[in-house]
Chain A
Amino acid sequence: MSIDETSARPSGTAGTAAADAEKPAGGAGPGRGGPAKDRRLNPVRELARAMILSVLRDKGTIFFLMVFPILFLMLFGTLFKSGGTTHIKVAQVGEVKVLDSLTAAHREQLSKAATITKVTSGPAALEKVRAGDYDALVEQVGDTVVLRYSLSDPVKGASARATLNAVLEQANLAATGKPAKYTLKASQVEDESVKPIQYLTPGLLGFAIATSSVFSTALTLVTLRRKKILQRMQLSPVRPWEVVAARISMTMLMVLTQTALFLVVATLPYFGLQLTGNWWLVVPLVVCGTLALMSLGLLIGSLSKTEESAGGLAQLLVLPMSLLSGSFFSLDGAPEWVRAVSYVMPLHYLVEGGESVLSRGGGLLDVLPTMGGMLAFAAVVTALTLRFFKWNEG
C-alpha cells in the first residue's frame, strides 16, 4: 500500500478552507451561521487567560485571596484606629508629692499620656500590675519616687518611665527655684506621621501578596502536574518560558489588583492613610517582591506531590514568615534573633520597602537595593528549584 503523504494528510495547517473541502467528516465547519472571525491564538495570552479565569470563576479562591486580606485590613484598621499613642494606666499608691502637687495645666498635659488612679493598697496594686490591669505602679519612699512596671509590655513600661521622668525633671527644676534654661518639647514622631494604618497597610498587603504568590503558584504547579496537563504541555511545542510568562502575568495582575484595593481602602477618610510622595514606587516593589515569593511557591510546588502537602508547606512558610516580617505587628521590640531570621525572608523587605515608599517618604534610592535583592533572591531560588522540577509524576 502506498500513501502519498502530502495528499493523504489533511492540509489543515495550510488553510482551513482547503481542509474543510477535503474532510467531509468535518461537517459544516465554522462557517455555519456566518463566518466566525479567525483569531490567532497566542499561547501566553491563552494560558494567562485560562489561569485568570480559573481564579475568577472560583468564588472560594477569590474570597481567600482577594476579599479576606482586605477584610483583615478593615478589621485591624478599625481596631487600632484610636491606638495611635501609647496610653498608660498608672496606679498611685499613697502620696506621691510630685504628682499631687502638679498644676492643673500640667495635670491636663499628663492625662494625655497617662491615667493616674489613686489606690491605697500597695500589694494589691502590684498584683494588678502583674496581671496587666495597670501598666505601672508609682509610690514615694522618702525622697525617692519608685516606679514599678512589668516587662511583659516593654513599650508601655518604657513609656511609663519616660512620662514619670519628665514629671520628675520638671519638679526637680522647679525645686531649684530657677527658671528653666532649656526646655524640651517632646513630641512623638508617630503622632504626626505614622498612624497604625500606615504600617498596617504595607504589612497586611505583604501578607496578602505572600499568600497569593506562594499558595497559588505552589498549588497550580501541583495540580497541573497531577492532572497531567504539564505532561500534555511537554508534548506540545509550547515553550517553557511561555508558560512561565503566562503564570507571572496572571499573578502580577492579581497582586497589583490587591495593591490597588488596599490603597483605595486604606486611603478612605475613615482609615486615613496618607500617601507620601513616591508612593507609586510600591508598584515596582510589589512586582519584585512577588517574583521573589513566587519562586518560593515554585520550590514548594516542585517538592510536593499532592495539593494537600503543597498547601501545608505553603502555610508553614507563609504564616511564620508574615509574623516574623512585621506584617501584623512591628518587630521593633522583638528579640535580636527574631529580627535576624526576618532578614532572610523576602517578605520582610517587601513590607519594609512598602512602608518606606507608602508612608515614610522613601524614594527610588531607598528601595532600589531592596528590589535588586528580591530579584536576586528569586533568581537563586528558581535556579535551585530547576533541580527538583518534574513535568510528570513518578
Chain B
Amino acid sequence: MRRGRVAAPHGQGVRVVTAAIVADGVRKRYGDIQAVDGVSLHIETGEFHGILGPNGAGKTTTLEILEGVREPDEGRIELFGESPWPRNPKLLRRIGVQFQASSFFDKLTTRETIYLFASFYRVGSRQADAMLDRVGLTEFGGVPADKLSGGQAQRLSIACGLVHDPEIVFLDEPTAGLDPQARRNLWDLLRDVNEEGRTLVLTTHYLDEAELLCDRVSVMEKGKVLKTGAPAALIRELDDMVRVSVESGRIEPDTLRGLLGSAGVENALVEDDGITLSIATHSPGPVLSVLADRRALRGLEVRGATLEDVFLQLTGREYRA
C-alpha cells in the first residue's frame, strides 16, 4: 500500500497517523558482541517497514526485541503505546509473528498445525480454514507440514501468524531460501496483507525485496541503523549515482582508478569481484569513454542506483548478504 506516507514527516496539513511501533535507543549485548547498538525506530500504523542489512547486522535481535521475546539492555519500546516486555498478553493478541518454516510440531498436518496456532488465540476452526484457503493451502490441508515445499511452508507459517487477525505482523526473513517463483507469490501475499491496513515489519537481506515491498526501510549494519527512509528517497539522495559494470580482467581496478582520476572523474567507487568490474559514479560519460579507450567494454551494463548503492555509500563497502 504505497500511500505517499513518505512525504509525511514535514508534510502538509492533517496527519492522524498514530505510531504502531516506537523504539528509542535500544541496545542489546551478548557477551562481547553488541548485537543491537542504539536502535531507534518509528513505524507508523499501516506501514510496511523493512529492516535491511547483511547477516549478523542485528536485524533478528532487533525484531525479537520489538516483538517482546527478548529484554533490551537499554532503551524503550512501545507497541501501540505499551511495552512488549515483560510478556504482555494484551499486546499478544494484536501482534502476529511469522517464524522460520521449521517451527512446526513434528508429524502434524497443515490443517492441524494452523488449528493448533488458532487455538492459542481462541480462534474458531472456520476462521483457521479461511486463512488456510487464503494462503492457497486448502488442498494441502491433509499433508504433513514437514512435507510441504519451502514456499508452502512459509505460507503456512505466515498463515499461522495471521490467523488471529493481528494489527502488527513481524516477519523474519520470510523469503530466505525460496525459489524466485515462490518469492514472488509470497510478495503478493504480503502486499495484500499490508493493504488490509496491517502494519508489517520484515527483516531481509535481499535488497530487491526491500525496495519492492517496503514503504520505508531501515538500513542496519553492526547493530546500528545507518539510515531510515523510503527506498526511492534513499536512492534519490544518492544524487543519481549510476553503476557501470563490465567484464573483469580487461583492466586492473587500480589502473582504472588512476585513469579516472586523470580524466577528472571524482568520487568513483571501483570494485572488482573477479567476474564483474563495477564503477559507481555521478559522471558515467567520462567513465565509459575511459573504458572504451582501453577496449574494456565487454559485457557492459549501465543502470541507475539501487538500494545496493545506498548500502555501498553508507558503509563504504559492497553489499554482501
Contact of B69 among A19, A37, A46, A235 (CB under 8 A): A235
Who on chain B is nearest to A2 by CB? B16
User: In the complex, A229 Cα to B99 Cα: how many Å?
Assistant: 9
Binds A, one of B192-200, B233-241, B290-298, B311-319: B192-200
Task: Enumerate chain B interface residues (CB-CB to A < 8 A).
Answer: 3-5, 8, 14-17, 30, 45-46, 67-70, 87, 89, 92-93, 95, 97, 99-100, 102-108, 112, 115-130, 133-134, 138, 164-165, 167, 192, 196-198
Query: Of B14, B117, B124, B134, which one neighbours A2 at CB under 8 angstroms?
Result: B14
A235-B68, A236-B120 are known contacts. Are A229 and B105 too (CB-CB below 8 A)?
yes
Within 8 A of B (CB), among A22-69: 23, 25-30, 32, 36-43, 45-47, 49-51, 53-54, 57-58
What distance in Å separates the Cβ of A224 from its nearest Cβ neighbour in chain B?
8
* Closest CB in chain A relative to B55 CB, distance in Å: 16
Q: Enumerate chain A residues within 8 angstroms of B167, measured Cβ to Cβ.
A: 5, 9
User: Given A10-B196, A235-B92, are A27 and B134 also a contact pair (CB < 8 Å)?
Assistant: yes
Residue of B nearest to A231 (CB): B69
Q: For the complex, give the distance between the alpha carbons of A161 and B45 in Å.
A: 90
- Could you tell me the distance between the alpha carbons of A8 and B118 in the complex, rounded to whole angstroms? 22
Q: Is the CB of B107 within 8 A of A54?
A: yes
**Nearest residue, chain A, Cβ from B106:** A54
Please state if A237 and B119 are interface contacts (CB–CB under 8 Å).
Answer: no
Task: Check A236 against B121 for contact (C-beta < 8 Å).
Answer: yes
Across the A-B interface, give the 7 residue pairs with the lowest CB-CB distance, nearest first. A8-B197, A41-B119, A12-B165, A46-B119, A236-B120, A38-B126, A2-B16
Report chain B residues within 8 Å CB of A47.
116, 119
Flag whether A176 is at the interface (Cβ < 8 A): no
What's the least CB distance linking A14 to chain B, in Å? 9
For A, the interface residue count at a CB cutoff of 8 angstroms equals: 54
Task: Say yes or no: A237 contacts B121, CB within 8 Å.
Answer: yes
Docked pose: A372 CA to B164 CA in angstroms: 42
CA distance A30 to B134 in the complex (A): 10
CB–CB B126/A36 < 8 A: yes
Residues of B within 8 A of A50 (CB): 105, 108, 112, 116
Other 4 A-B pairs with CB < 8 A, given A8-B46, A54-B107, A229-B105: A2-B17, A19-B127, A41-B123, A237-B121
Q: Which residues of A contact B138 (CB under 8 A)?
A: 32
B120→A237 contact, CB < 8 A: yes
Contacts A/B (CB < 8 Å), 28 sampled: A1-B3, A1-B8, A3-B45, A3-B197, A5-B197, A8-B197, A9-B165, A9-B196, A12-B127, A19-B165, A20-B130, A23-B196, A27-B133, A37-B125, A39-B125, A40-B124, A41-B118, A41-B125, A47-B116, A53-B108, A54-B105, A54-B107, A58-B106, A227-B103, A234-B87, A235-B68, A236-B121, A392-B69
Task: Indicate whether A1 sits within 8 Å of B17 (C-beta atoms), given known contacts A8-B197, A10-B165, A223-B106.
Answer: yes
Shortest CB-to-CB span from B195 to chain A, Å, is: 8
CB-nearest residue of chain B to A35: B126
Q: With the chains together, A27 CA to B134 CA distance in Å? A: 6
Q: Are B116 and A30 in contact (CB under 8 A)?
A: no
B104 touches A40 (CB 8 A): no
Q: How far is the CB of A52 from chain B (nearest CB, A)?
A: 10
- A238 vs B116: C-alpha distance in the bound complex, in angstroms? 11
* A58 neighbours in B (Cβ, 8 Å): 106-107
Output the least CB separation between B123 and chain A (Å).
6
Whether A391 sits at the interface, judged by CB under 8 Å, is yes
- Interface of B (DSSP majority class): loop
Residues of A within 8 A of B (CB): 1-3, 5, 8-13, 16, 19-20, 23, 25-30, 32, 36-43, 45-47, 49-51, 53-54, 57-58, 223, 227-229, 231-238, 391-392, 394
B97, B102, B134: which contacts A26 (Cβ < 8 A)?
B134
Q: Is the CB of B97 within 8 A of A232?
A: yes
Write out the residue numbers on chain B whose beta carbons fall within 8 Å of the beta carbon of A49. 112, 116
Flag if A40 contacts B122 (CB, 8 Å).
yes
The smallest C-beta distance from A19 to any residue of chain B, in angstroms, reads: 7
Is A30 a contact of B196 with CB atoms below 8 Å? no
Contact A8 B196 (CB under 8 A): yes
Are A3 and B46 interface neighbours, CB within 8 A?
yes
Kindly identify which residue among B92, B133, B196 contacts A237, using a CB–CB cutoff of 8 Å: B92
Interface centre among A20, A28, A30 (most CB of B within 10 A): A30
Report A-chain residues with C-beta under 8 Å of the C-beta of B126: 16, 30, 36-39
Q: A39 near B124 (CB under 8 angstroms)?
A: yes
Q: Which of A1, A30, A227 contacts B130 (CB 8 A)?
A: A30
Residues of A within 8 A of B17 (CB): 1-3
Q: Quick one: closest A residue to B69, CB to CB?
A: A231
* Contact across chains for B108 and A237 when beta carbons are under 8 A apart: no
Residues of B within 8 A of A11 (CB): 165
Q: How far is the CA of A229 from the CA of B108 in the complex (A)?
A: 13
Contacts of B92 in A (CB 8 A): 235-237
Smallest CB-CB separation from B128: which chain A residue? A41
Is B133 a contact of A26 with CB atoms below 8 Å? Answer: yes
A39–B108 alpha-carbon span in the complex (Å): 18
When chains A and B are docked, how far (Å) is the Cα of A327 from the Cα of B118? Answer: 43
A143 → chain B closest CB, angstroms:
76
Q: A236 — nearest CB in chain B belongs to which residue?
A: B120
| Cβ–Cβ contact A5 & B133, under 8 A | no
Chain B residues positioned under 8 Å from A27 (CB to CB) = 133-134
Task: Please measure, in the bound complex, the distance between the C-alpha atom of A61 and the C-alpha atom of B258, giving whole angstroms.
Answer: 69
Task: State the Cβ distance, A59 to closest chain B Cβ, in Å.
Answer: 11
Distance between Cα atoms of A252 and B57 in the complex (Å)? 46
Contact yes or no, A237 B46, CB < 8 A:
no
The interface residues of chain B lying within 8 Å CB-to-CB of A37 are: 125-126
Docked pose: A50 CA to B129 CA in angstroms: 17
State whether A391 and B130 are in contact (beta carbons under 8 Å apart), knowing that A23-B196, A237-B89 are contacts in the complex.
no
* CB <8 Å contact, A45 and B119: yes
Contacts of B93 in A (CB 8 A): 237
**Which of the listed residues A13, A51, A57, A394 has the most CB atoms from chain B within 10 Å of its own CB?**
A13
Q: Which residue of B lies closest to A230 (CB)?
A: B103
Nearest CB of A to B101, in Å: 10
Question: Considering only CB atoms, which chain A residue lies closest to B45 in the complex?
Answer: A3
- B113: nearest chain-A partner, CB-CB: A50
Cβ B30 vs Cβ A227 within 8 A: no
